[in-house]
Amino acid sequence: VVDADGRTVPFEALYVEQKAIVVFVRNFLCYTCKEYVEDLAKVPKAFLQEANVRLIVIGQSSYHHIKPFCSLTGYTHEMYVDPQREIYKTLGMKRGEGNNVSVRSPHVKSNTFLGCIRSVWRAMTGPAFDFQGDPAQQGGALILGPGNEVHFLHLDKNRLDHVPINTVLQLAGVKTVNFTNKPQIIDV
């Protein structure tokens, strides 16, 4: 994988020393990925440190797109790219949409039409008209490490098939996060 400064890092180095939640996104222009990463950005660093877990997002574009995408989403955890999609292929992440469109990510707020319009607009107004990866590539989520231990693997069937973030946090032993903007009701 490649970091935001263009340095190559072996994929294994991301989880060899400590447990890591690794989220593979479709591409950086995908509106569902953007909204999912916006919610990943809400995971407090303190929750991750307390559980000794790294939170990592991997995209499949040029590393030049990492900093703008982090700025757009507010994401401050680790992010890398796999520009040749080698890890995507090794893990068996599919290309194309599955036929199960009833799956709906709880982290996607936009409807399909507006989300697609926003994605195309960002592509057209970006510094280089670039779809920032293979638009047919699907993503997934893993919990790995330390070492070669795989605790969890989910391969997305389509753009809306994200694992709920709190599910992944719980499986990794990290405190969960309230993603709703609604005030909490406390019974006394």
CA-to-CA distance for 57 and 68, rounded, in angstroms?
14
Residue 3 domain flag: no
Number of domains in the chain: 1
Mean pLDDT of 74-99: 89
Confidence of residue 180 (pLDDT cuts 50, 70, 90): confident
Question: Could you tell me the CATH number of the domain that includes residue 117?
Answer: 3.40.30.10
Question: Does residue 4 form part of some domain?
Answer: no
Nearest to 58 by CA among 78, 73, 42: 78
Coil/strand/helix, residue 24: strand
Q: What pLDDT is attached to residue 117?
A: 52
- What average pLDDT does range 160-180 have in this prediction? 90
Is 180 among the domain residues?
Answer: no
Domain range for 30: 11-172
The predicted pLDDT at position 115 comes to: 47
Q: Is 42 within the bounds of a domain?
A: yes
> How large is the average pLDDT for residues 74-98?
90
Predicted pLDDT of residue 99: 56
Is 58 within the bounds of a domain?
A: yes
Q: Which of 1, 12, 6, 19 has its CA nearest to residue 152?
A: 19
- Lowest average pLDDT, out of 6-10, 83-87, 114-118, goes to 114-118
Per the omega criterion (within 30 degrees of 0), is the bond before 164 cis? no
Measured between alpha carbons, how far is 142 from 163 in angstroms, rounded to an integer? 10
User: For residue 17, what pLDDT is reported?
Assistant: 95
Residue 183 is predicted with a pLDDT of: 55
